[in-house]
Amino acid sequence: MENGHYGDELTLRLSGIADITALDDDLVLTTFMRDLVTRIGMTVIAGPMVATEAGPPEKAGKSAVVILAESHAAIHTYPHLREIFVNVFSCKPFREADVLAEFRRLVGDFRISERLLRRRGEEWPRDLAAAEQLWSDHRAALSSVHD
């Protein structure tokens, strides 16, 4: 944990995608997710997994997710709307500029219509014993709700 917090979470909405070809291609999106997390220095532990959402054009597209040793990265594409939603959460620092560069390589030009970079886990325990106690308390609270 660096800078007094657990990690950073970047959420983006990319609009006006110049080239939508890749947004509906499972193989291209699988490769892209691997390239993205490699560029930002993360370690894949599961995936990438790509799924298709059918339906009306405003909802149709692809979702791709990769589970990282450092957390996760996910995208949701909407080719008919020329948009992509992005979420990268990591306990390891990464550069937003690297994330954006990979998307430019994938789709060309776009505009950032929503952007949020948040510090996550500012109250996260600094030591392993405290973190284990936090999870133990959380599990106990959940089990008492379900009893």
For the segment 20-57, what is each residue's pLDDT rounded down to a tens digit? 999 999 999 999 999 999 988 888 888 899 999 988 88
Per the structure, the complete domain to which residue 109 belongs is given by: 7-146
Rounded CA separation 86/14 (Å): 8
Looking at the structure of the chain, the number of domains it has is 1
49-90 pLDDT per residue, tens? 999 998 888 889 999 999 888 888 999 999 999 999 999 998
Rounded CA separation 96/80 (Å): 26
Give a yes or no: residue 81 inside a domain: yes
Which CATH number goes with the domain that contains 86? 3.60.90.10
Give a yes or no: residue 68 inside a domain: yes
Give a yes or no: residue 1 inside a domain: no
Give a yes or no: residue 2 inside a domain: no
Give a yes or no: residue 102 inside a domain: yes
- In sign, the C-alpha dihedral spanning 67, 69, 71, 75 is negative
